[in-house]
Chain A
Amino acid sequence: MVTQAPERPVATAVPPPSRRRRALPALWPYLLVIPTVAGTAYLLFYPLIRSVIISFQHFRTGELIRGGAAFVGLDNYYDALGSAEFWAVVRRTLVWTAINVVLIMVISTLIALMVARLGKKLRLAVLAGLVLTWATPVLAATTIFQWLFQSKLGVVNWLLTSIGFAQFDGYTWFADGTSTFAIMVLLVVWQSVPFAALTLYAGLTTIPGELFEAAKIDGATQKQVFRDVTFPMLRPLFGLITSLEIIWVFKCFAQIWAISQGGPDGATTTLPVYAFQVAQSLHKYDLGSAISTLTVLILLAVLIPHLRRMYKHEGEGR
């Protein structure tokens, strides 16, 4: 892929070397980024545009096989926005995102603050535990959680039964919508906390210790120290992690699909799962694409401030 320099000495070439040398630096950067631009164009922008186009077409199994899809304007969007099911899914997605992100941020902050106060040995043990959780692949985690919450042999039911909740003897968690939803939340929070907690802890360690000492001398309580010193210092980091978690939780797909495929009775169907179901199971690729586009638009409202912050930061740098 790298353009090789010619084997023969440059001096024998017809154009004078001085001109060559001037022309090369101007072209090189463009040659170097061609593979990236081409890859991004074909593997990212083209599918994105294709998805938008399909959302304006009638595109079902027939069109998939024969081609020649007809444009139908906004019909798919009217279909999606006009169905009560879509709005139920939107509501569920927002609830899902809110519950998860709030839990993740609160727990991570508490853990980060806790780790900062621990002695060396215990601190290393907690950090190691978090890294272990973080290293667990999504699909390994979904399998483990299905085993933990298994009805007859699952260790969770055994634990709940033995501390007195007899109704959990042989309880089938994955047959009920609410309990499946709860397990999903538990799983996603369990998987997401390590990243947020480790990053926040890393941020905490960059705050100069004098600030805390000064606050203590002034007689500030722990609550005040957090509100007036720690949080303002970490605000950019909080903003970054929160937006990342919103994005990740909002578009979370693998966990849900691997465990429940959106069930039971759609109790865990969030927007990405819904779009895939509509396209893949009902073969309504057009409606699925419209839902995908709407999903992205909702997410974009969160994404743009984040993107602008990163780009601004980029402008200040080199």
Chain B
Amino acid sequence: MRRIPLTLAALSVIAFSVFPVYWMVVTAFKPTRDIQADTPQFLPLHPTLEHFETAINSDGFGLFWRNSLLVSLGAVLLSLVVALLAAFAVARMRWRGRKAFILMVFIAQMAPWEALLIPMFIIARDTGMLDKLSMLTLIYFMGTLPFTIVTLRGFLAAIPEELEEAAQMDGASRAAAFRKVVFPLLAPGLMSTSLFGFITAWNEFAFANALIIKNQDDRTLPVWLSSFSNVFGTDWGATMAAATLFMLPVLLIFLILQRRVTSGIIAGAVKG
């Protein structure tokens, strides 16, 4: 008897968390006349792909998809390379200024990004970087860099130094020891860190909204989606199809990461 309230509570938590996403997907698959029915239909009884066709064929969809992909991948790759160098210096070497450097990374991680909207706009304007995807890439690189350094450093610290030393004693150079011994062990960490970075960049809205103004072809998916009523009017089926397509890569990444999700997030703060 005592378990009934508990089960009900659990079911209602599931309902609250799943329903909005479920409703998005169901709406995307329902024909327009079912969407506009007086009594909502909670199951897609007449599934259709027409809304996905509308979304994909809408003006510039492929372009915005490409822009988002370019910016996110560019930012993640850049931040991965730069962070790996820094993480190695912090985790494996002792040097003056190391503590100050770590503090700088923490400050950068806590930086009030929204407060940078105005100066970034002005700097971008002064340097001819307004309406440029490269400017967004740089900003997303900086946005994901501190988190990437902190997590990679954690992963590096978990790999015993003795492994490298053993390889070096066997005659491998320090670089070779890193490449052959540490890198394979680090690969899962690199993978999950970069996927988190990718999600952050993929979802970013504020800067994309503030810095891409005149050249509408350079918009990214979140900004495009925010103006859905200009694109689709009251076509909610197409709007939900577009939202579903936008969410799909993120969902796939979460499925890939599964277990790492919780531990990775505790290590550092990733959030839009």
Instruction: Assess the A126–B14 pair: CB atoms within 8 A.
Output: yes
Q: Which of B45-53, B184-192, B260-268 contacts A (4 or more CB under 8 A)?
A: B260-268
Please give the distance in Å from B37's CB to the nearest CB on chain A: 9
Instruction: Assess the B246–A51 pair: CB atoms within 8 A.
Output: no
Provide the main secondary structure of the chain B interface. helix
Contacts of B236 in A (CB 8 A): 147, 150, 153
Contacting B at CB under 8 A, from A115-143, are 115, 117-118, 122, 125-126, 129-143
Contacts of B95 in A (CB 8 A): 26, 29-30
Instruction: Assess the A39–B114 pair: CB atoms within 8 A.
Output: no
Choice from A135, A194, A195, A311 contacting B106 with Cβ under 8 Å: A311
Instruction: Assess the A133–B116 pair: CB atoms within 8 A.
Output: no
Instruction: Assess the B118–A51 pair: CB atoms within 8 A.
Output: yes
Contacting A at CB under 8 A, from B1-55, are 6-7, 9-10, 13-14, 16-18, 20-21, 23-24, 27, 35-36, 39-40
Instruction: Assess the A257–B262 pair: CB atoms within 8 A.
Output: no
Instruction: Assess the A132–B17 pair: CB atoms within 8 A.
Output: yes
Instruction: Assess the B17–A257 pair: CB atoms within 8 A.
Output: no
Choice from B111, B225, B266 contacting A44 with Cβ under 8 Å: B111
Choice from A37, A47, A133, A311 contacting B103 with Cβ under 8 Å: A311
Q: Nearest chain-B residue to A150 (Cβ)?
A: B236
Please tell me if B81 contacts chain A, counting CB pairs below 8 Å.
yes
Q: Which of A73-81, A90-98, A274-282 contacts B (4 or more CB under 8 A)?
A: A274-282
Instruction: Assess the A190–B266 pair: CB atoms within 8 A.
Output: no
Please tell me if B65 contacts chain A, counting CB pairs below 8 Å.
no
Q: Binary interface profile of A, 240-258, with partner B (CB < 8 Å = 1, else 0)?
A: 0000100110010110011
Measured CA separation A140–B117 after assembly (Å): 22
Q: Binary interface profile of B, 169-186, with partner A (CB < 8 Å = 1, else 0)?
A: 000010100000000000
Choice from B83, B113, B138, B247 contacting A140 with Cβ under 8 Å: B247
Instruction: Assess the B7–A122 pair: CB atoms within 8 A.
Output: yes
Instruction: Assess the A35–B7 pair: CB atoms within 8 A.
Output: no
Measured CA separation A208–B155 after assembly (Å): 26
Please tell me if A209 contacts chain B, counting CB pairs below 8 Å.
no
Choice from A33, A130, A139 contacting B205 with Cβ under 8 Å: A139
A118-B107 contact in complex given A36-B149, A140-B24, C-beta closer than 8 Å? no
Instruction: Assess the B89–A33 pair: CB atoms within 8 A.
Output: yes
Please tell me if B239 contacts chain A, counting CB pairs below 8 Å.
yes
Q: Nearest chain-B residue to A141 (Cβ)?
A: B20
Measured CA separation A257–B121 after assembly (Å): 17
Instruction: Assess the B21–A132 pair: CB atoms within 8 A.
Output: yes
- Which of B89, B93, B115, B221 counts the most A-chain CB atoms under 10 A from its CB? B115
Instruction: Assess the A199–B265 pair: CB atoms within 8 A.
Output: yes
Q: Nearest chain-A residue to B146 (Cβ)?
A: A40
Please tell me if A299 contacts chain B, counting CB pairs below 8 Å.
yes
Instruction: Assess the A47–B116 pair: CB atoms within 8 A.
Output: yes
Choice from B9, B16, B86, B118 contacting A292 with Cβ under 8 Å: B118
Contacting A at CB under 8 A, from B215-272, are 221-222, 225-226, 228, 236, 239-240, 242-244, 246-247, 250-251, 253-254, 261-263, 265-266, 269, 271-272
Instruction: Assess the B225–A43 pair: CB atoms within 8 A.
Output: no
A303-B13 contact in complex given A139-B225, A153-B35, C-beta closer than 8 Å? no
Contacts of A303 in B (CB 8 A): 110
Instruction: Assess the A40–B104 pair: CB atoms within 8 A.
Output: yes
A190-B118 contact in complex given A35-B85, A129-B13, A202-B262, C-beta closer than 8 Å? no
A residues at B contact (CB < 8 Å): 1-2, 5, 25-26, 28-30, 32-33, 35-37, 39-40, 43-44, 46-48, 50-51, 54, 64, 111, 114-115, 117-118, 122, 125-126, 129-145, 147-148, 150, 153, 155, 158, 190, 194-195, 198-199, 202, 244, 247-248, 251, 253-254, 257-258, 272, 275-276, 279-280, 285, 288-289, 292-293, 295-296, 299, 303, 306-307, 310-311, 314-315, 318
Q: List 17 A-B contacts (CB under 8 A).
A: A1-B85, A2-B85, A5-B175, A32-B86, A36-B83, A39-B142, A48-B115, A51-B119, A134-B254, A134-B261, A140-B244, A158-B40, A247-B110, A251-B113, A276-B118, A292-B114, A295-B112
Of all A-B residue pairs in the complex, the 10 with the closest CB atoms, nearest first, are: A32-B89, A43-B142, A254-B205, A129-B17, A47-B119, A29-B89, A139-B222, A29-B95, A51-B119, A135-B254
